């Protein structure tokens, strides 16, 4: 087992047994709680929006809704983010944005998520209000101030600039690298 991985994909594919063993060693119960995830991501001192965003990410990764992320959910989430098809990612983004779970994304929900992402990434190049305005001008076809899943997916697919912006804003590679490097570092200490 070598420590020279060229990408996160290689880490996932290289040694699934090792990942499982490591996951079970760090989470003997076989489950990760929201608190453990925030600790793993070094979320101390983050804004309320950033903390709320991580809460929402946790909920979307907790596919069975039991309040924990198990190994299968963990690997499925990482695989989706790294290798998922565009429609799969857009559905996941929508679920993440739809904080109240009503099947629609309103401007406030979207703006809150974008503010949280900026707080986590420390990238404040474009104000969230401008991003939200652009998205709604281009893809809110009925002018209702909210988007359904279908509007969101077709709008993002029909506007490459919006798809590109969403992909950049929602890139969680840095978060995955924190998790992976923490696990790899500890794994090689064994």
Summarised one tens digit per residue, pLDDT across range 137-189 is: 999 988 899 999 999 999 999 999 888 888 777 766 666 565 555 543 333 33
At residue 105, does pLDDT exceed 60?
A: yes
Q: Using alpha carbons, select from 98, 92, 132 the residue that is nearest to residue 115.
A: 132
DSSP notation for the chain: --S--SSHHHHHHH-HHHHHHHHHHH-TTSEE-HHHHHHHTT-TT--HHHHHHHHHHHHHH-TT-SSSEEHHHHHHHHHHHHH--HHHHHHHHHHHH-TT-SSEEEHHHHHHHHHHHHHHHT--SS-HHHHHHHHHHHH-TT--SEEEHHHHHHHHHH-HHHHHHHHHHT--HHHHHHHHHHHHHHHHH-
pTM: predicted TM-score of the whole model, two decimal places = 0.69
At 125, is the pLDDT very low, low, confident or very high (cuts 50, 70, 90)?
A: confident
At residue 123, does pLDDT exceed 50?
A: yes
Q: What is the average pLDDT score of the chain?
A: 77
* Angle of the 48-61 helix axis to the 71-83 helix axis, nearest 10: 110
pLDDT at 113: 84
At residue 90, does pLDDT exceed 80?
A: yes
Percent of the chain with pLDDT over 90: 15
pLDDT at 14: 55
At residue 13, does pLDDT exceed 70?
A: no
Q: Are 39 and 51 in contact (CB under 8 A)?
A: no
Q: Which two tokens stand for residue 52?
A: 């709320």
At residue 22, does pLDDT exceed 50?
A: yes
Q: Which two tokens stand for residue 154?
A: 């077709």
Q: Which two tokens stand for residue 13?
A: 């594919």
């Amino acid at each position: 087992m070598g420590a020279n991985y060229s990408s996160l994909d290689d880490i996932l594919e290289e040694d699934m047994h090792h990942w499982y063993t490591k996951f079970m060693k760090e989470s003997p119960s076989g489950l990760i709680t929201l608190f453990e995830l925030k600790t793993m991501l070094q979320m101390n001192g983050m804004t309320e929006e950033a903390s709320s965003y991580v809460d929402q990410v946790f909920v979307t990764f907790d596919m069975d809704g039991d309040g924990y992320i198990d190994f299968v959910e963990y690997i499925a989430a990482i695989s989706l983010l790294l290798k998922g098809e565009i429609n799969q990612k857009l559905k996941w983004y929508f679920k993440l944005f739809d904080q109240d779970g009503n099947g629609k994304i309103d401007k406030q929900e979207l703006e809150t998520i974008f503010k949280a992402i900026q707080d986590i990434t420390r990238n404040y190049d474009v104000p969230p209000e401008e991003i939200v305005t652009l998205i709604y001008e281009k893809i809110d076809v009925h002018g209702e101030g909210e988007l359904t899943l279908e509007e969101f997916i077709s709008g993002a697919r029909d506007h490459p600039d919006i798809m590109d912006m969403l992909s950049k804003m929602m890139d969680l590679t840095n978060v995955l690298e924190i998790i992976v490097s923490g696990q790899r570092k500890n794994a090689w200490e064994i």
